[in-house]
Each structure stands twice: as C-alpha cells, then as structure tokens.
Amino acid sequence: MALLKIDNLKANINGNEILHGLNLTVNPGEVHAIMGPNGSGKSTLASVLAGKEEFEVTDGYVEFSGKNLLEMSPEDRAREGLFLAFQYPVEIPGVSNANFIKTSVNEIRKYRGLESLDAMDFLQLMRERSKLVEIEQSFLTRSVNEGFSGGEKKRNEIFQMAMLEPKLAIMDETDSGLDIDALKVVSKGVNKLRNSENGFVVITHYQRLLNYIVPDYVHILFEGKIVKTGGKELALELEEKGYDWVKDHINEL
Amino acid sequence: MNNSEIKSDFKTMIKSEFEKLQNSLNGSSGSEINLARKDEFSSFFVKGIPTIKFENWKYTNLTFLNKLDLKVQDGSEDVSDINIKELYYSEVDSHKIVLVNGIYSKELSDFFEVDGLDLEIINTTSSTDLGKYSSYYGKLTHNSGHPFAEINTALSKSVLVIEIKENKVVDKPIQIINITDASKHGVFTNPRILVICKKSSSCKIIETNYTVGNNPGVKNIVKEIFLEENANLNYYKIQDDTEYSHTFDYTQAYQLRDSHFDEAAVSLNGKFIRNDLRTILDSENIESHYYGIFIGSNSDLIDNHTFVDHAKPNCYSNENYRGILFDKSTGVFNGKIMVRPDAQKTNAYQSNKNVLLSPYAVINTKPELEIYADDVKCSHGATSGALDENSKFYLQTRGIGEKQAEILLLNAFAAEVIGEIKIEKLRNLVLSRIEDKLNMVYN
C-alpha cells in the first residue's frame, strides 16, 4: 500500500487556485524531491497536507496509509504519522523544547493506545536523538525556537522528526538559508532516519540539498501541477538549464 | 409592608454603620484617629458610590453593591470550622497571620516570635493614640480621594501592623490569610494593614484570600506600605477566591532612597476584583516593579488601576500585566505614570498584554502618562487579541490537540509573569492553580 496517494488535488487560498490538479504517489522506503520555482505551489502543497485552515481544498483526494487525509484535523494527521518540517519554524516563548516534545510524544502515544513515557525513558530518548542532529542539552531547556538561529531552528525540526518517528515526513525548504555545515548536519540526520518503511517528500528550490539527501524521484512542480518526473539526474538537469527550461518545456507540450 | 424586606442601599448602609460606630465611641470620639474617620466619611458621603461617569470607574459598574444583601462585619463568632492547614496556599513555608473579616484571629494564626519583626494589633475604636505608629497610620490614604479607601478608614476597627526592624532580614515569608466569613449572611468587611519596612530591612509577604460560605462576601481591604531607606519588600497578592467573593483592594506604598518594592497581583478566581496600587517614589535610586496576571471566566470582572508617582530623579519602575479572558468576563487595566518636574533620569516602563478567548470577553486597557521632566525614558505598550494561530497550528502538527495546544500557550503566556515570584513553592502552586483553572474552563 502506498504511504501517500494524491489524486487530482486542487486548492485555493483567498479564492485563488494555487494547486491545479496535482498527482503524486509515495511508497514506503522512497524519497521524493519536489522542485520548482517560487510561487509554483510547493509550500501550499506542504500546508494543505499538514492541514492548515487557510487553504481550501476544492477537488481531489489524498490518501494517507489507506485513510482519507483531508478529513483529519492537523493533530490527527500527526498522530497517524505525518510530519511537516516547517520552512519557518514558529517561536513559542515560555514553552520549553523539552516540555513541548514530551507533550507531543505522549499525545501521539495516547492516540495509538500506548502508555506515556516516564521521565527517565523520555530523557534517555531525548539524549539519544539529540545526538543525531548534534544539539546540546541546553537547547532542550530553551523556549521552542525562541532566539534560535536559522540553522538551530532547522535542526530542531529534524530533532522533532527523530523523536516522533513519522511514517511520512514532508520537509518544506529545510535547506533554504542554511550554511553548508548546517546542511550536512540536517542531511545526516535525515539519512539516519531513512528506512524501508518510511517515506520523505523533500521540497526544495535548490539542487544542492539533493547531493546529501539522494532522492529516488525528482518531480518538477510548475504552476500548481507536477509537469515532469524523473530520477535524481533530473535535478542536475534542472540546475544546469534553469527554471526557464521548464517553462519552455511546458510550452512545447 | 414588612420592613425587614426593604433592603437599604449600599451608601445608606455605610452611613448607618458609621453613625452606629460614632455612637459607640466614648472617650475616643475626639481622638486623632476618629477625626480622620469623620473626614474620610464625609469625603466619601459627598461623592457616594462611584458610577461609570467617574473617570476611574468608567468600565467598572458597581450597581451590584445595591443588589447584594450585606451586613458590615468585623470578625466572626465562630471560626471552629476553619482549618488553615487545609487552605490551598498553606503549603508554603511561612509565618501565618489570619484575619477573619478583618479581625486578627490568634486561635487560627500560626505565628510565634519572629526575629526582626513586630506584629501589633491596634484596636482603633478603643485606642486614643497610635503611639509610634501615629506618623504612619492613615498618612498615605489621607486625601486619596478613593471612595473605598475612605470607607475603610471610616469603618475599620482594627489595624494589623507589621514592622520589620532596621537591618533585619525576615527568615521566611509572612503569609497574611484573609478569611471572609460569609457563612451566615452576606458580609462587607474592612481589613486594614500597615506594613513598615525600616531601613535596610528585607521581607517577603504573601497575601492569600478565602471566602467561606455561600453568601456574598465583599472585602474592602486597605494597605499602607512604607519602605524606608534601602528596604526591600516583595509583596505577593494571591486572589484565588470563590465565586461569592468581591474584592476592593487599595494598596498605597511610599518609598525612600535605595528601596526596592515588588508587587505581584495574581487574580485567578473571584466574581469581582478591583485593585488600586499606588506608589510614591519620593527619593533617589528607588525601584518599583508591578506584576499582574488575571484570568477571568463566566462574567467575572478584574480591574487593575495602577499609579506610579515618580517624584524624585534617578528611579526605575516597571509594570507588566497580563490578562486571559474567557466567556463574558471583563478586564480593565489603567496604568498611570506621573513623572514630576524634579524626576529627571526616570526610567518608567509599562506593558499590558491580553488574550481574549471569547467574542464576548472584553478588555479595556489604557496607559496614562503625565511627564513633566524632559530627560526621561518612558515606554508603554498594550496588546489584545486571540491566541496566535501559527503557534497553535505548529503545536497541532506535532500531534497536540487544539485544546491542549491552547492550554499550553496560555500557560506559557502566564508563566512569563509568574516567573517573577521569588518563592519557588508559591510559584509552583500558582502555576498549578493556573493549569487547573485552564483545564476547568476548557472541559
């Protein structure tokens, strides 16, 4: 069974249609990269999948692990195993990272009929996973993302991903604005989390990330539709020829 | 017509109580205390109960006072049902002083000799002279113009005096437990407290408030607080009472050189709360910090009126009030800052942030700055609105349900103010009460 099956998805914001009938299937163990120019609908796709209210789905169907994703609340999507790494992670003053992640882990466990992790087990899990993205313990007692640098925020997203072990992770321009060291740390974290059962949708503007997180498929999103799909070499071709090439390519069709 | 069914209005009740008190005084009717009492009464009587046409009472309708069946009450005959160990904030390790309807209860208090501290109870109906306290009592409330402070001076019969001696640091917090006993009938009480912090003394005071019984309890408390040179006082006022409680709190502080005063008002439960907090910074290098958190539900009203009066140069004041309003509750914040011509190099800051969680909840917030010096730093800011949708969504995408997400964000919003409480046990109790309250409102 596919992890994610998007069929003819159309979505609006403030009455403007951004996604014009998008199709995508992600199977367990696969990494899909979605590339596209600014304004092509990349972040809209991520927001719609995560359940952000401002976006109105007008047509199409999304199945996640056999269930109707679009009918679920954002929290239930997360509890079912969907994870969105934000392009702009939100700062939440007064809530410590540790308290936030503990609440999150236990809410998800509760949904799945599991007992809450006790303080000791939780601490141990946090220690272990925080190593994956090379974050210090002091990071955990700080307020969520408050005063974090861009790199720290993105590492925090991957740390949360590591704690929650989603079936499907959508990474929304996680690489944008990262320096090469931070990019390596983030990619290393993702690669360690990859296995034959989970899937990744990596949304990016730049090919560079795909040197570190090697995708099985590359899709080009343009004007709210996937216009071309290929292997990892498609990203290189796109990098070389630029997004204008996509435009021309569309016109040829 | 049966006379007993006619309820007298509030002002008439105050008048007849005042006359009764005057008639009962024998030798002391010409005393200085009683002259002040008469002055304050007439000042009140001319104005009467403030209506919403009074600028300072614009958002705070007091007509309910005429609808409540109240008797002026001092003390209570029977306190045997009350066990202070069972009271919520009793867990805080502290010297406990209990007032029942404004009158000190030795029986209920847990207070023994404390090094560096004098505790005095002065009966202002029998004493003709306040002795060493005559230069303190009534000196700050005199000319306050505040109708409820005037009523208190006119009617209160007992003063609790806490004096912290020079150079003394009190070993643990003093807890003043205000019990309003409304078990037999509705009551109107007038507790009166005088705190004198002598030169270089240091002390923490916690004030807790409980109403007993299912009749309305209206407490009209007045506090005068003196901080002499280099004195340090943290005063934590916990207003976590029942739905039958109504509170008027008038606190007036006076600070001298190098002194430091912190006041936190934690208003969590109660039908009606009006706090007036005023400080005169009357010398150099003084600090005053006001903190407040208020959480309203149902049709609660919580009103904080503050007045920081910078009279001399080189002082610092900071106010941080936060409100969370559910249902049909109303919040009021009015922050007045006066910088007098002498008060150059003043730093005065004020912030009031509010979260409204219902379309019927209301906040009225108003800064009031009067600045007559030209070399000062003053700022104020006020915000009100719903919870941040992006923060909520972020938490939801991590599997945290909508309600839980809101509770988490509101706890964090409140915790930023509660973090200023310097007594760890008290801080934790307050945080857990806030969490309880939020869980209750949401479920």
Q: How do residues B33-82 score in pLDDT, each as one tens digit?
A: 899 999 999 999 999 999 999 999 999 999 999 999 999 999 987 777 88
Q: Which residue has the tokens 């503050």?
A: B306
A-chain residues near B415 (CB < 8 A): 94
**Whole-Å CA distances, B10 to A97, B37, B51, B122, B166:** 53, 18, 13, 27, 43
Q: Which residue has the tokens 């169907």?
A: A61
- As to burial, measured by CB atoms within 10 angstroms (0-12 exposed, 13-18 middle, 19+ buried), residue A21 is middle
CB B95, CB B175: distance < 8 Å: yes
Of B248, B185, B180, which is closest to residue B208 (Cα–Cα)?
Answer: B180
Question: What does the pLDDT read at residue A176?
Answer: 86
SS3 B113: coil
B-chain residues near A164 (CB < 8 A): 398-399
Top residue of A69, A101, A107, A116 to mutate, by most chain B CBs within 10 Å, is: A107
| Per-residue tokens: B371 | 């600045």
Of A93, A101, A103, Cβ closest to residue B416: A93
Q: What are the strands, taking DSSP E only, across chain A?
A: 4-13, 16-26, 31-35, 55-64, 67-68, 82-85, 92-96, 143-144, 168-172, 199-204, 217-222, 225-230
**DSSP, res A110:** H
A-chain residues near B410 (CB < 8 A): none
A-chain residues near B413 (CB < 8 A): 94
SS3 B424: helix
Tell me the pTM: 0.91
From A108's Cα to the closest Cα of chain B, the distance in A is 6
Note whether A51 contacts B395, CB cutoff 8 Å. no
ipTM over 0.90: yes
Cα-trace Rg, chain A:
18
Q: How far apart are CA B182 and CA A63, in angstroms?
A: 61
Using a CB–CB cutoff of 8 Å, tell me whether A107 touches chain B.
Answer: yes
Note whether B408 contacts A53, CB cutoff 8 Å. no
Using a CB–CB cutoff of 8 Å, tell me whether A92 touches chain B.
Answer: yes
From A248's Cα to the closest Cα of chain B, the distance in A is 38
Q: Is B139 left (phi over 0), alpha (psi -120 to 50) or beta?
A: alpha
Using a CB–CB cutoff of 8 Å, tell me whether A50 touches chain B.
Answer: yes
Q: How far apart are CA A28 and CA B437, in angstroms?
A: 44
H-state helical runs in B64-212: 64-67, 147-155
Q: How far apart are CA B171 and CA A228, in angstroms?
A: 75
Pairing of strands B71-72, B187-189: parallel
SS3 B63: coil
SS3 A103: helix
Sign of CA dihedral A191, A193, A199, A204: negative
Distance of CA A219 to the CA centre of its chain: 15
> If you measure CA to CA, which chain A residue comes closest to B419?
A94
**DSSP, res A119:** H
Question: What does the pLDDT read at residue B50?
Answer: 94
- Alpha carbons within 13 angstroms on the beta-carbon side of residue A78 total 30
CB B232, CB B260: distance < 8 Å: yes
Query: What does the angle CA B26 – CA B78 – CA B184 come to, to the nearest 5 degrees?
Result: 95
pLDDT at residue A167 above 70?
yes
Note whether A90 contacts B394, CB cutoff 8 Å. yes
Q: How far apart are CA B264 and CA A227, in angstroms?
A: 61
List, edge to edge, every strand of the sheet that includes A16-26: A16-26, A4-13, A55-64, A67-68
- The predicted model gives A4-20 an average pLDDT of 95
Note whether B409 contacts A95, CB cutoff 8 Å. yes
Of B216, B180, B220, B184, which is closest to residue B67 (Cα–Cα)?
Answer: B216
Of A103, A108, A111, Cβ closest to residue B408: A103
Of B395, B397, B404, Cβ closest to residue A84: B397
Question: What does the pLDDT read at residue A252?
Answer: 60
Query: What does the angle CA A138 – CA A141 – CA A146 come to, to the nearest 5 degrees?
Result: 100
| Per-residue tokens: A24 | 């995508």
Which parts of chain B sit beneath pLDDT 50? Answer: 1-6
Of B395, B399, B405, Cβ closest to residue A79: B399
Band the pLDDT of A135: cuts 50, 70, 90: confident
Residues making up chain A, counted from first to last = 253
DSSP letter for each residue of B330-388: EEEEEEEEEE-TT-TT-EEEEEEEEEE-STT-EEEEEEEEEE--SS-EEEEEEEEES--
Question: What does the pLDDT read at residue B2?
Answer: 41
Using a CB–CB cutoff of 8 Å, tell me whether B402 touches chain A.
Answer: yes
Of B389, B397, B412, Cβ closest to residue A95: B412
Note whether A104 contacts B411, CB cutoff 8 Å. no
Query: What does the angle CA A168 – CA A169 – CA A172 come to, to the nearest 5 degrees?
Result: 145
Amino acid, res. B160: L
Note whether A86 contacts B394, CB cutoff 8 Å. yes
Q: How far apart are CA B34 and CA A174, in angstroms?
A: 75
CB A141, CB A127: distance < 8 Å: no
Of B388, B398, B412, Cβ closest to residue A104: B398
pLDDT in tens, B51-60: 999 999 999 9
Q: How far apart are CA B213 and CA B241, in angstroms?
A: 12
Q: How far apart are CA B102 and CA B247, in angstroms?
A: 13
CB pairs < 8 Å spanning A and B:
74
From A35's Cα to the closest Cα of chain B, the distance in A is 23
Question: What does the pLDDT read at residue B402?
Answer: 94
Contacts of B306 (CB under 8 A, 6+ apart): B276, B277, B278, B290, B319, B321, B333, B334, B335, B336
